[in-house]
Amino acid sequence: MSQVVRVERQGDVALIKVDNPPVNALGHAVRDGLLRAFREAEAYAAVRAVVLVCEGRTFMAGADIKEFGKPPQAPSLPEVVEAIEASSKPSVAVIHGTALGGGLEVALACHYRVALVDAQVGLPEVKIGLLPGAGGTQRLPRLVGVEKALEMIVSGNPVKAPQALEYGILDAIVEGDLAEAGLACARRLLDEARGPRRTGERQVQGDAALIAAKRAEVEKRMPGLFSPLRCVEAVEAATQLPLADGLKRERELFQQCLESPQRAALIHAFFAEREAAKIAGLPADTPVREVRSAAVIGGGTMGVGIALCFANVGIPVKLLEIDPSALDGALQRARGTCQASVERGSLSAEAMEKRLGLIQGVLDYEALADVDLVIEAVFESMEVKRQVFERLDAVCKPGAILASNTSSLDLDEIAAFTQRPQDVVGLHFFSPANVMRLLEVVRGKATSAEVLASAMQIGKRLKKIAVAVGVCDGFVGNRMIFQYGRQAEFLLEEGASPAQVDKALRDFGMAMGALAVRDLSGLDISHAIRARQRPNLKPGQTLPTVLDHLYAAGMLGQKTGAGFYLYPEGSRTPQENPALQAMLEASAAARGITRQPVSDEHIVERCLFSLVNEAARILDEGIAQRASDVDLIFLNGYGFPAWRGGPLFHADRLGLDHVLQRIREFHQRFGAWWEPAPLLERLVAEGRRFADL
């Protein structure tokens, strides 16, 4: 028997144990071991029942994602699953941790299923561009019905054990030792002479209207995604075909998803998220400072959002505003945000009060003397930051972590306002801070390893995707988006309309168009950033002027009802701004050009390749650790479509030689901003990709 699967005889029961850390993924050795174990149990007359448990922290968490894209190795998981269900001896799966994907499919093939109360079960394959490919789309509907099966399979979200019990996925909630609980179940089955109970033999009630509605919902809510619609087709097959044919149809659809370019992109994103937690030169066992309490300086939109991040995970947080009415307003906004969740049904009123009870409004810095972590979220002015950090340095206890939420100012300069620069770090949240998962952890020159490790851990505790970045203007995401936004404005001056630019980018898959985003964040902020950047421009680097025209006209975006678009009566739906045409004509004239039609393809290339070129510089300067970190930032902070893997994954897929050739053409036509990044030229010369870095 393989080491990853062991069998123990417990009287007339075979106890099968899977031991494949860290998550008991169903790699080849596990599949082979499981098949052998169940076949041996079947053949051995003295064995009358089988119990399946897993060692470590979780039941099998799915197929081994690292194997996708490689030549398949027999036995396949469907083969294992079918052998388990066909056994003539009753089998019990004992679930703990997260039984996900193929892990749940193995459990569904077992005849009975029990779980610890804090276990979860789910079929998350859709999140990595796949669908349950080992019977999940055929067996789950037979257990829980079409509606619940569609919800679980198309969303990919897990359900907790009590809910799974209610759904009929589990037969019981158990406690204590997994093996003992399983053996007790098996004993009861034998005493009651209850044999195999095969899910595959159950019937499933079709519901054409429900399936049609789900299909329509997926087409509307998940445009561009390939696998969700295949999930619906597979579940539909379960309602129309006998099991064997349904399983065959599932395999066909699974293969289509496996071959889809989206699967590779989504799996790249999955591993990128885990890779980001690893920081070169920072050992995984670096000591971290415990954060039992936090404080946020500034009760604006960001400050309130950040305070909610802590309250939402149960960490008490003080919110400091120096003006009582501003503090009241901030606390009211925190309540309003939670109230909206209660109204949506995603938060109970009791939980809301508990969370709000963790946010304590304070009016003076003395109240911060005992907190473990302070995050400054005040106005983006270095003078204001100086005042704040000098006060923090004076009142906070030794060892407190002092963080800035600055989105682009020089963290090293901020750290120098204190006597403890080693305790200063950047925690750049993205608005709305309590919703967006991305957190750029900015490592200053003086930031200690302990503080950096602590910041990464607090990011994980806040359920953020924490990515370590270096200090420069805009760090990684904003530095790249400055280029992207600039190109969008240049394209307007050259002849495109905001609607055309934004539609071309949305059609590519961006969550929002570049100009709609600028209107949302406020053109005054863009204008201030540009004013700060102007003195540092290199020769030949000109700036578009349409933003200056809008700013001069007081058109600052949604907040004033007009910007690149009009927002009549406070509507959030962008409409054409007639005043823009004259501004664009004036901008074009100032550049000595005549506006003319621009193709959508050209729009997408100009915007995307400006991201790629700047990212290459960022990687070359060591501001980002790896290409996948850059992808992760854009997938989780800027609405880049996950099914394209991120700007650099996408560039690799296009071919860097093609990308560089286009950038060189743009350099000829549009000047200094398009100077090809040296790293990009090196990669192309060496025949390498960003993924090879």
Catalytic residue numbers read 105, 125
Q: How far is the CB of 62 from ligand T1G (least distance, A)?
A: 2
Q: In the β-sheet with 294-297, what is the strand arrangement from edge to edge?
A: 359-362, 317-320, 294-297, 373-376, 401-404, 424-429, 438-442, 465-469
Q: Are strands 159-160 and 120-122 parallel, antiparallel or unpaired?
A: antiparallel
For ligand T1G, which residue of 16, 23, 183, 253 counts as binding (CB under 6 A)? 23
615 sits near ligand T1G (criterion: CB under 6 A): no
For ligand T1G, which residue of 7, 15, 25, 218 counts as binding (CB under 6 A)? 25
Q: How far is the CB of 622 from ligand T1G (least distance, A)?
A: 22
For ligand T1G, which residue of 33, 64, 558, 646 counts as binding (CB under 6 A)? 64
The identity of residue 125, as a single letter, is E
Q: How far is the CB of 61 from ligand T1G (least distance, A)?
A: 4
At 471, list the tokens.
């200090």
Q: How far is the CB of 93 from ligand T1G (least distance, A)?
A: 15
For residue 172, the surrounding DSSP H or E stretch is strand 172-174
For ligand T1G, which residue of 90, 124, 305, 444 counts as binding (CB under 6 A)? 124
Residue 48 vs 626, nearer CB to ligand T1G: 626
Judged by CB under 6 A, the stretch of 59-67, 405-413, 440-448, 680-688 that binds ligand T1G is 59-67
Per the omega criterion (within 30 degrees of 0), is the bond before 641 cis? no
Alpha-carbon distance of 607 to 599, in angstroms, equals 13
Please list every residue from 225 through 284 that binds ligand T1G, using CB under 6 A. 271, 274
Give 504's DSSP letter: H
Residue 320 vs 456, nearer CB to ligand T1G: 456
Judged by CB under 6 A, the stretch of 4-12, 82-90, 131-139, 227-235 that binds ligand T1G is 131-139
Alpha-carbon distance of 377 to 303, in angstroms, equals 5
101 sits near ligand T1G (criterion: CB under 6 A): yes
Q: Are strands 112-116 and 91-95 parallel, antiparallel or unpaired?
A: parallel
β-partners of residue 178 are none
Alpha-carbon distance of 48 to 87, in angstroms, equals 11
Burial letters 641-656, b for 16+ CB under 10 A, else e: bbbbbbbbbbbbbeeb
Judged by CB under 6 A, the stretch of 122-130, 222-230, 289-297, 675-683 that binds ligand T1G is 122-130
Residue 156 vs 557, nearer CB to ligand T1G: 156
Residue 136 vs 421, nearer CB to ligand T1G: 136
Q: What is the DSSP string of 585-635?
A: HHHHHHTT-------HHHHHHHHHHHHHHHHHHHHHTTSBS-HHHHHHHHH
Q: Count residues binding ligand T1G (CB under 6 A).
A: 25
129 sits near ligand T1G (criterion: CB under 6 A): no
Q: How far is the CB of 423 from ligand T1G (least distance, A)?
A: 28
What stretches of 456-539 adopt beta strand conformation (E)? Answer: 465-469
Q: Are 393 and 420 in contact (CB under 8 A)?
A: yes
138 sits near ligand T1G (criterion: CB under 6 A): no
Tell me the helix, strand and coil percentages in the chain, rounded to 5.
55, 10, 35
Judged by CB under 6 A, the stretch of 123-131, 235-243, 607-615, 621-629 that binds ligand T1G is 123-131
516 sits near ligand T1G (criterion: CB under 6 A): no
85 sits near ligand T1G (criterion: CB under 6 A): no
Judged by CB under 6 A, the stretch of 6-14, 84-92, 96-104, 439-447 that binds ligand T1G is 96-104
463 sits near ligand T1G (criterion: CB under 6 A): no
Judged by CB under 6 A, the stretch of 28-36, 55-63, 297-305, 395-403 that binds ligand T1G is 55-63
Q: How far is the CB of 277 from ligand T1G (least distance, A)?
A: 7
Please list every residue from 625 through 654 that binds ligand T1G, using CB under 6 A. none
Q: Are strands 13-18 and 373-376 parallel, antiparallel or unpaired?
A: unpaired
x/- map, 408-427, ligand T1G, by CB under 6 A: --------------------
130 sits near ligand T1G (criterion: CB under 6 A): yes
Q: What is the DSSP string of 195-243?
A: ----GGGS-----HHHHHHHHHHHHHHSTT-SHHHHHHHHHHHHHHS-H
For ligand T1G, which residue of 9, 39, 66, 194 counts as binding (CB under 6 A)? 66
Alpha-carbon distance of 385 to 377, in angstroms, equals 9
For ligand T1G, which residue of 82, 85, 125, 233 counts as binding (CB under 6 A)? 125
Q: How far is the CB of 19 from ligand T1G (least distance, A)?
A: 15
Q: Are 12 and 47 in contact (CB under 8 A)?
A: yes
Q: Are 52 and 106 in contact (CB under 8 A)?
A: yes
459 sits near ligand T1G (criterion: CB under 6 A): no
132 sits near ligand T1G (criterion: CB under 6 A): yes
Q: How far is the CB of 266 from ligand T1G (least distance, A)?
A: 10
Judged by CB under 6 A, the stretch of 63-71, 431-439, 474-482, 663-671 that binds ligand T1G is 63-71
Q: How far is the CB of 121 from ligand T1G (least distance, A)?
A: 11
41 sits near ligand T1G (criterion: CB under 6 A): no
534 sits near ligand T1G (criterion: CB under 6 A): no
For ligand T1G, which residue of 20, 98, 406, 577 counts as binding (CB under 6 A)? 98
Judged by CB under 6 A, the stretch of 101-109, 201-209, 327-335, 403-411 that binds ligand T1G is 101-109
Alpha-carbon distance of 117 to 681, in angstroms, equals 55
| CA nearest neighbour of 228 among 167, 319, 150, 302 | 150
Neighbours of 386 (CB within 10 A): 15
Residue 64 vs 605, nearer CB to ligand T1G: 64
Q: What is the DSSP string of 435-466?
A: T--EEEEE--SS--HHHHHHHHHHHHHTT-EE
β-partners of residue 93 are 52, 113
Q: How far is the CB of 281 from ligand T1G (least distance, A)?
A: 17
Alpha-carbon distance of 26 to 30, in angstroms, equals 5
At 3, list the tokens.
């080491």
Residue 70 vs 572, nearer CB to ligand T1G: 70
Q: How far is the CB of 644 from ligand T1G (least distance, A)?
A: 19
Residue ranges in contact with ligand T1G by CB under 6 A: 22-23, 25, 61-66, 77, 98, 100-102, 105, 124-125, 128, 130, 132-134, 136, 271, 274
